[in-house]
A = this chain, B = another copy of it.
């Protein structure tokens, strides 16, 4: 077929120039496969097992597409999705942090994550490293509308899995996580999104009534 032989000809001509780039990009993607083995403290909604950071990142991207209307009108939604797809990648080298970690643990983790970002994005062709590094820094800094909305969804999704309708709670796994403490941890990320924050509070009130979280 003409199309095929034409494609083959193009491939033949351009391949030597792209092979090094492609090899680097595919090595990056194979390394990123390891995010599927990074286990979070949150469990799936059915309680069957802990969630991993790769499927969590997918769920957040879907959450952004589904809850787009709750973002401020100036938010660039594709950017939110990009932030969410890459936001946990550094955990491949740095691991995930427990929600109740101390300030010292957070500082230590931040240093480890910076080194992890450099190592991981360093696998990419030189001219692409900056793009991924900037995305990750933007998410961490939470200074843009996109990063704030992404972070709000990242705060909301584990609540939905744990205490959303039919959720099992996490009384046994996290006996110290009371409703009061949980809402205190979540408020700073969610309060700028009134409908989401209101819903989160209502869900936790209901969970307290059902006994899947302690009032505290």
Contacts and interface: CB of A to CB of B under 8 A. Distances in A.
Main secondary structure of the interface of A (DSSP, over half): helix
Interface in A186-213: 191-192, 194-199
Interface residues of A, number: 65
B165 A195 contact: no
B160 A29 contact: yes
Given A124-B66, A165-B30, A194 B8 contact: yes
Interface stretch (A53-61, A96-104, A140-148): A53-61
A187 B198 CA distance: 51
A65 B51 CA distance: 23
B191 A33 contact: no
A196 to B, nearest CB: 8
Interface string A23-49: 001111110111111000000111010
Interface stretch (A80-88, A108-116, A168-176, A177-185): A80-88
Nearest to A51: B36
Interface of A: 3-4, 7-8, 10-11, 14-15, 18-19, 21-22, 25-30, 32-37, 44-46, 48, 51-52, 54-55, 57-59, 61-63, 65-67, 69-70, 77-78, 81-82, 85-86, 124, 128, 157, 160-161, 164-166, 191-192, 194-199
